[in-house]
Structure 1
Amino acid sequence: MTQPIPFGFVPVDSRRTQAKPRRTGMSMVIDDGLPLAYVESVLEIAAPYIDLMKIKTGTARLYPREVLVRKLRTYQAAGVKPFLGGQFHEYVFAVMGEAALPRFHEESRALGFTTIEISDNTVPLTDRQRHDQIAGAVRAGLEVFGEVGSKETMSNPALLVDQARICFDAGATLVLVEAAELVDDGVVRQGTLDIIKKNLPLDRIMIELPGPWIAGVRSCDIEAMKKIVFAEFGPDVNLANIDVKTIFDTEAQRVGLGTGGPIR
């Protein structure tokens, strides 16, 4: 049953997809060890604005098993898809080798994950490794999100496109692109942006916001980046790395109710 909405007579940006499950306009939030009771409170009011929840880095290894299972079920019951962040996969590959990945896939599914991310933030991958690791996880019955771009250095835009295509060819359903690749000193890299828009399906990419884990990134930088991304891609862009405390504020920015005002 739909709950009454306050100020329901006030229109919001009609370009923003409202109904879940969404293919565009998805919002991915970071769970860096949120208590289960807190998660339940967040979902009570914010579940309509959350599509994906990243269990950050290797934090899944630190939970009591039953608590993690209950958390995943709580997200899923609210229509939110939890997934394992890519740096956990990187860690297993770096420390235990490729032979350990099938066991990682099996354990992921046993816990209740249906989706994992495969990235190379700290452990570089060749094109072949990127393809084979994604394809291997897909064969194991997992949905895979790929990731391209650097958090700290500028990549050749053609390389970003090539890496994204490798991810898609291997079976990834979504590719995350670092937002830091789109801006240089606060100025939009229009050439990079145009190449991405022209060569990649926008309903299958997700722009990753920078975060405080990157040296020098402040809250105001993240907010400025949100405004740039919405201005360049529109309110129905897929957006990742949203802090749990800014879910409502980010949704307000999407629909024109935030500090940036209506999106033109």
Structure 2
Amino acid sequence: MNYNLNNLPERTSKPRTEGYTMVMDKGLSLREVEDLIETSGNYIDIVKFGWATSYVYPKLKEKIALYKSAGIPCYFGGTLFEAFIARDQFADYQKILDEFGLEYAEVSDGSIEMDHDIKCEYISTLAKQVTVLSEVGSKDAAKIIPPYKWIQQMETELEAGAWKVIGEARESGNVGLFRDSGEVRQGLVEEILTQIPEEKILWEAPQKAQQVWFIKLCGTNVNLGNIAPNEVIPLETIRIGLRGDTFSHFL
């Protein structure tokens, strides 16, 4: 830090398992990645290439190498996994993970209908190859999943071998954990936390108000995802009470 301030909340240090910040890369250029690493690399724990953007992005291997050189792992969005599954190309998906040297993978079923037992089989299989994050929740705003089912799916996916479970919100933050207005489904989140260990959940929270809400509920070192590249440093100030939204909360 550039100077000393007393009595700030204590942040975990990288490499960490709590206080994760997952950034969504929706097509940054190599120069933008270099700039992001220079300014915010210390605060980024992992990067997701949004949905299936990795399919069309040029110089993908070069981008992955840039992140790796900074000690930041990355992974393909869950929609790409679903695209391979929908085309009966799971073996091909496994091959591209190796081809691009990825150590993480996301398993989701937000865009396709998939029997949950089959999803857990994919998790178990991939967990032998990479570290798996599994996403729970639908991308369909009209599909409301009751809390008991969120809990049940999170439990079974962790048992199947997922390292962390992701609470769905999309990059817009208006489905899954949130109402279409972006408001947190508070009862859902609080009920999930009665059964699932907090450190095992990565909450997608792209909007500032959502980030503030989770930090006030769970503390400085809550795991947050789908953070825009230009919001990494602003989020870090929210985490440690140096933005008006949490200024009084941590004093």
Q: TM-score, normalised by structure 1?
A: 0.85
Partner of 2:107: 118
1:183 Cα shift? 4.8
Amino acid across the alignment from 1:154: I
Alignment partners' CA distance in 2, 1:186 and 1:123: 23
Alignment partners' CA distance in 2, 1:124 and 1:74: 35
1:192 Cα shift? 2.1
Q: Secondary structure at the match of 2:166?
A: strand
Alignment partners' CA distance in 2, 1:187 and 1:68: 35
Q: 1:259 to 1:154 in 2, by over 3 A?
A: farther
Partner of 1:131: 120
1:261 Cα shift? 2.9
Q: Does 1:16 align with 2:11?
A: yes
Alignment partners' CA distance in 1, 2:39 and 2:131: 27
Partner of 1:41: 35
Contact 2:212 2:246 in 1 (8 A): no
Alignment partners' CA distance in 1, 2:186 and 2:39: 37
Contact 1:115 1:142 in 2 (8 A): yes
1:201 Cα shift? 1.3
Q: Does 1:68 align with 2:51?
A: no
Q: Deviations over 1:170-204 (max 9, x none)?
A: 11101101355445566654432332111111111
Q: 1:52 to 1:12 in 2, by over 3 A?
A: farther
Alignment partners' CA distance in 1, 2:62 and 2:233: 25
Q: Which runs of 5+ in 2 are unaligned?
A: 170-174
Contact 1:252 1:258 in 2 (8 A): yes
Contact 1:105 1:142 in 2 (8 A): no
Q: Deviations over 1:99-148 (max 9, x none)?
A: x2122111111111111101111112211111111112123x11110011
Amino acid across the alignment from 2:4: F
Q: 1:160 to 1:112 in 2, by over 3 A?
A: same
Q: Which runs of 5+ in 1 are unaligned?
A: 211-221
Partner of 1:256: 241
Partner of 1:157: 147
1:74 Cα shift? 1.2
Q: After the TM superposition, which segments of 4 or more aligned residues of structure 1 sit over 3 Å from their partners?
A: 179-191
Amino acid across the alignment from 2:98: R
Q: 1:189 to 1:111 in 2, by over 3 A?
A: closer
Amino acid across the alignment from 1:88: L
Q: CA RMSD in A?
A: 1.8
Aligned length: 241
Q: TM-score, normalised by structure 2?
A: 0.89
Partner of 1:102: 91
Partner of 1:214: none
Contact 1:26 1:238 in 2 (8 A): yes
Contact 1:130 1:166 in 2 (8 A): no
Q: 1:258 to 1:124 in 2, by over 3 A?
A: farther
Q: Does 1:191 align with 2:181?
A: no
Q: 1:142 to 1:47 in 2, by over 3 A?
A: same
Contact 1:134 1:144 in 2 (8 A): yes
Partner of 1:172: 162
Greater share of residues in helix? 1
Amino acid across the alignment from 1:75: Y
Q: Secondary structure at the match of 2:213?
A: helix
Q: Deviations over 1:43-81 (max 9, x none)?
A: 0121111001001111211234xx211211211121211
Q: Does 1:87 align with 2:79?
A: yes
Q: 1:181 to 1:170 in 2, by over 3 A?
A: same
Q: Secondary structure at the match of 2:194?
A: helix
